[in-house]
Amino acid sequence: MVKHKNNTSKSVLDTGFTSDGKTFDKLIGEKPAFVKFYSPMCGHCQNMANDWKKLGDDIGNIGIYIIEAHVDGLDKITSKCKEGSNNGIPYIAMVQKGGTVFKEYRGNRSLVDMMKFVKENVRALIKRGGGNKTRKQGKGRINKTRKGRKRMRR
């Protein structure tokens, strides 16, 4: 069961609690994600919970998912990115499409710092080819003709 953490946000997804590893892996297979593995018993996870929710609301549509995965669902997840959570929780990372960790997040767990990290690394991830955005095809520029029709200049 995938449920939205906030009725107004479609980007923060909670894939934990049950045997939802398939949904997590499916999402990671669709496009890159900023992922947090957490436990509700963890004090650090509790302290950053509000900023994580706000991140999904404030980040906008930049071509990635913001995913929160409960540690109880780790045994059902097959993506490589779960391996980092063995070092402790919360484990936060920018994950490439397909599940490989692009870059671990080790900064301050504030909204401002996490948002800055996401925005900086989304550009690098897309430039590297792991993103979901497509580049324009062709080499020409589009110009309008005198009659207002578009044509491609080479």
List, in order of start, the domains of the chain with CATH numbers.
Answer: 3-128 (3.40.30.10)
Residue 57: pLDDT over 50: yes
Helices (H) and strands (E) in the chain, counts: 3, 8
Among 26, 20, 131, smallest CA distance to 69 is for 20
Highest-scoring range by mean pLDDT, 22-26, 55-59, 111-115: 111-115
C-alpha 72/C-alpha 41 separation (Å) is 11
Q: What percent of the chain has pLDDT over 70?
A: 68
pLDDT attached to residue 12: 58
pLDDT attached to residue 17: 40
Full-prediction pTM beyond 0.75?
no
Of the listed ranges 6-20, 76-90, 104-118, the least confidently predicted one is 6-20
* Beta strand 9-14 pairing with 65-70: parallel
Mean pLDDT for the chain?
75
Q: Both tokens of residue 8?
A: 């107004």
Q: What percent of the chain has pLDDT over 90?
A: 29
Residue 141: pLDDT over 50: no
pLDDT attached to residue 62: 81
